[in-house]
Structure 1
Amino acid sequence: MKILVTGGAGFIASHVVDLYLERGQKVVVVDNLSTGRVSNLNPNAVFYQMDIRSPQLAEVFKKERPDIVNHHAAQMDVRRSVADPIYDSDVNIIGSLNLIECAKLYDVQHFIYISSGGAVYGEPEYLPCDEEHPIKPICQYGASKHTVEHYLYMYRENYGLGYTVLRYPNVYGPRQDPQGEAGVVAIFIGKMLTGDQVTINGDGEQQRDFVYVADCAEANLLALNDLQRSGIYNLGSGEGTSVNEIFATLRGIIGYEQDPIYGPPKVGETRRIYLNAERAIQDLGWKKRWSLEDGLRETVRYFRSAEMVEPVALPSVGRSSAQTVAGAPVDGPQKGQPSQREALGEAARGDGDELRVLEELGQRLESLPFSKRWPADLLDIALRAVRARGGSIIILDQAKKIIGAAASFQGVTHELNPKELQMMLDRGLAGWVTQHGRAALISNTLEDARWATKEWEQAEASARSVISVPLFFEGRVSAVLTLTRENHDCFTHNDLALVSSLAAMTSVSQEGIQLPVAV
């Protein structure tokens, strides 16, 4: 079967994608990378960088013809849903409806939808909550997630689209971003490992149902076993664990010595919630296999070895699909590094407006279709964004053949000859980025074999810092943007995140447009 997974670069869905591929399924991923990470993408999946609200989504269905849709993509931040319910409903309801309509139009067999067992029930009338518990959400996120369940019932009755709804508990585990819309486990681990103070909202006695991500991924696999059945299933342990207990357990695992700070409770937060999963156990054959302590230990082990980077949130500039774009991760934030706003301010300090660079790019993206000069224009913006000394952008066709390029060094524009271009792909950093589909930050070019010195640089072949990021089009790397600065250790991880955001914003804005344009 071919399965289209939305949000497949995200925390939970990337584990689902991995499991599907391990079991021999074909997988197509749709993700706008607003919170997902390129590094989470499985290279064996076809990838489309696209918002689920995009009109171009139908073209993906037309081309790929998936048998199953697995819908994880969502606006998942409860606080944002309270502050901006219009945006929350736009993503979670309108985006989901766009996806359901595409599924109906292109004869999808079954629709797996991820709902929220922690938000749709509201304050429980009894515990643990089963699927028959009254639906009384007390936050906009819970309301928007449940609304889609009604649409799925309607589309089954009227059009025969089968569905499985999985109401998730509080899911934790590897790949959860402690800097983004994370759960308490990832946030606590991130703070503890960097020696920062942990803040607990409220008194910490609020209870949640914590389930390790591998167990939730398994439920998505089991949902494929009986596609004739439609149903709604809770996933959960049936037990509540307080936030204070999570803090104490992680404190013991990590060896964290500080006490937490207690802040005000979050608006719209349920006091106690845990779920009865008997229906999933009986109908799907699902079972929670990971104990809480084992799952927490494995999560801590991952965070200690993983490379994390703080994502950069973009303003709403350019095309409407580019709401927020995260930079491709390479290295994690170091203690004492500047915040996102400080990083953006540093990048745009020329006139004091920290959003100037992004707004300028957005204005150029507004004037689509791109002219033949767009690669050079993007290179120019990126150079100024991080005060790079030189850089290049190469354009690739579907066969990864170079069809255009632009380069600049010390303010002078260069034409790259075919020999140099081929060298960049064969043994240069651009080739590595193309092959791996992820960004790279080199602190010292003399110590990294991926860097190949160009002819005009030979006279000054000293140590440099380099950033190189991919641009995507229809699931493939279609261009590589590379920037250099004099001396080693000049670029920061915030520089990398900003340039990755520019590249991702450009990619998102080219949905439906033929990207490769010869320079």
Structure 2
Amino acid sequence: MIIITGAAGFIGSCLIQKLNTEGFKDLVLVDDFSRPEQNKNFEGKQYSQLVERELFPEWIAANHLHIQFVFHLGARTDTTEFDYDLLNRLNLEYSKEVWNACVKFGLPLVYASSAATYGLGESGYDDDESALSELKPLNPYGESKNNFDLWALSQDTKPFFWAGLKFFNVYGPNEYHKKRMASVIFHTFNQIKLTGGMKLFQSHNPDFKDGEQMRDFVYVKDVTEVLYFFLHHRRDSGIYNLGSGQARTFLDLATNTFKALGKEPQITFVPTPEDIRDKYQYFTEANMSKLRSIGYTKPFHTLEEGVEDYVTNYLVSERYL
């Protein structure tokens, strides 16, 4: 069996599809299944059973002999969440439970970290484990992810193989439930359908023009390829960046979405909401040399390729409106 926590979510559900395509069907999906809008993410996919998130620690103790691998992708991922107790419970303490179970029962583990740990990038975007304590996340979500990374590294006993993956700005199918946190591509597509145009955030940083804020956008199909690589690699434990390695502007994202729909860009700018304005990353770019150094050789989609595939093969379906 292969375990996927956060299976009803964005990346988790795309990993189910990747594993099904590769012939893996004995998948145990772990999540809070009380949210029907997310449960359609795994409709039509093949898996062996569903386990409620709160019951998973007990379940893994009873079934560990049958488990091959654990992908812990479940988390509270809202970067505007300021409920520290909630983030501590779901992103830190729960992850510790999963980690400790993998140690106890000898299970390999890959878990989701985040590029939100890098904050404004004062210390760069290198996945250097010795520098994690110097990072300054901009929000409680980023803090919770960095706190777990630091905790994991400090443990005397670790899973025989483990990897923490710092996801950068992931986009692609099955993100519709993320609402405000969904990608600019998703929002552009829907705004075009409703109004014919797109509103991007203004820049409130004199070093960046409106729309020229830059992020490392990575297509979810590339993310699942890396996850699949680690399923078989099972060595070189540690923390790794997972981005495309190439920063692009939000204007690039929006413009390519219009292009994929065969429309001329109509883009205007609105003020960045005040609740995120002082917590806003204006630039991120993953240094991907560490992942490459352990043998990952597959190319990543260019932004143009990823947007074209996402829009034409997924977003045009009514399911994603």
Q: Is TM-score (shorter-chain normalized) higher than 0.5?
A: yes
Q: Provide the C-alpha distance between the structure 1 equivalents of 2:96 and 2:20, rounded to a whole number of angstroms.
A: 26
2:126 aligns to what?
130
| Number of residues of Structure 1 aligned to a counterpart in Structure 2 | 300
Q: Provide the C-alpha distance between the structure 1 equivalents of 2:73 and 2:56, rounded to a whole number of angstroms.
A: 19
The reply to whether residue 113 of structure 1 matches residue 111 of structure 2 is yes
Q: After alignment, is 254-263 or 89-98 more displaced?
A: 254-263
What secondary structure sits across from 2:305 in the alignment? helix
Q: Deviations over 1:295-348 (max 9, x none)?
A: 10111111102414xxxxxxxxxxxxxxxxxxxxxxx5xxxxxxxxxxxxxxxx
Asked if structure 2 preserves the Cα contact closer than 8 Å seen for 1:5 and 1:30, the reply is: yes
1:259 aligns to what?
267
Cα drift, residue 197 of structure 1:
5.6
- The residue type equivalent to 2:185 in the other structure is V
Change (3 A) 1:66 1:36: farther
2:144 aligns to what?
144
The reply to whether residue 248 of structure 1 matches residue 258 of structure 2 is no
Q: After alignment, is 180-189 or 256-265 more displaced?
A: 256-265
2:202 aligns to what?
202
Q: Provide the C-alpha distance between the structure 2 equivalents of 1:293 and 1:56, rounded to a whole number of angstroms.
A: 39
Q: Provide the C-alpha distance between the structure 1 equivalents of 2:194 and 2:268, rounded to a whole number of angstroms.
A: 14
Change (3 A) 1:97 1:36: farther
1:359 aligns to what?
none
- Give the aligned CA root-mean-square deviation in angstroms: 2.4
Q: Provide the C-alpha distance between the structure 2 equivalents of 1:74 and 1:292, rounded to a whole number of angstroms.
A: 26
Change (3 A) 1:159 1:40: closer
1:297 equivalent among 308, 315, 318: 308
What secondary structure sits across from 1:136 in the alignment? coil
Cα drift, residue 196 of structure 1:
6.5
- The residue type equivalent to 1:68 in the other structure is F
1:40 aligns to what?
42
Change (3 A) 1:49 1:232: same
Cα drift, residue 159 of structure 1:
4.9
2:52 equivalent among 50, 53, 61: 50
Q: Provide the C-alpha distance between the structure 2 equivalents of 1:196 and 1:174, rounded to a whole number of angstroms.
A: 22
Q: Provide the C-alpha distance between the structure 2 equivalents of 1:287 and 1:160, rounded to a whole number of angstroms.
A: 26
- Report % sequence identity: 24
Q: Provide the C-alpha distance between the structure 2 equivalents of 1:192 and 1:144, rounded to a whole number of angstroms.
A: 35
Q: Provide the C-alpha distance between the structure 1 equivalents of 2:295 and 2:52, rounded to a whole number of angstroms.
A: 31
Cα drift, residue 100 of structure 1:
2.0
What secondary structure sits across from 2:118 in the alignment? coil
Q: Deviations over 1:387-428 (max 9, x none)?
A: xxxxxxxxxxxxxxxxxxxxxxxxxxxxxxxxxxxxxxxxxx
Q: Deviations over 1:32-63 (max 9, x none)?
A: 14473334345321232522xx1553224413
Cα drift, residue 199 of structure 1:
3.3
- The residue type equivalent to 1:193 in the other structure is K
- The residue type equivalent to 2:112 in the other structure is I
Change (3 A) 1:130 1:307: same
Change (3 A) 1:23 1:108: farther
Change (3 A) 1:199 1:154: same
Query: TM-score normalised to the size of structure 2?
Result: 0.84
For the pair shown, the structure with the greater C-alpha radius of gyration is: 1
Asked if structure 2 preserves the Cα contact closer than 8 Å seen for 1:192 and 1:256, the reply is: no
User: What are structure 1's unaligned runs of at least 5 residues?
Assistant: 309-331, 333-519
Change (3 A) 1:41 1:74: farther
Q: Provide the C-alpha distance between the structure 2 equivalents of 1:217 and 1:142, rounded to a whole number of angstroms.
A: 22
The reply to whether residue 190 of structure 1 matches residue 187 of structure 2 is no
- Which structure has more RCO (C-alpha within 8 Å, separation ≥ 6)? 2
Q: Provide the C-alpha distance between the structure 1 equivalents of 2:316 and 2:32, rounded to a whole number of angstroms.
A: 27
Q: Provide the C-alpha distance between the structure 1 equivalents of 2:2 and 2:152, rounded to a whole number of angstroms.
A: 18
1:79 aligns to what?
80
Query: TM-score normalised to the size of structure 1?
Result: 0.53
1:238 aligns to what?
245
Cα drift, residue 69 of structure 1:
0.9
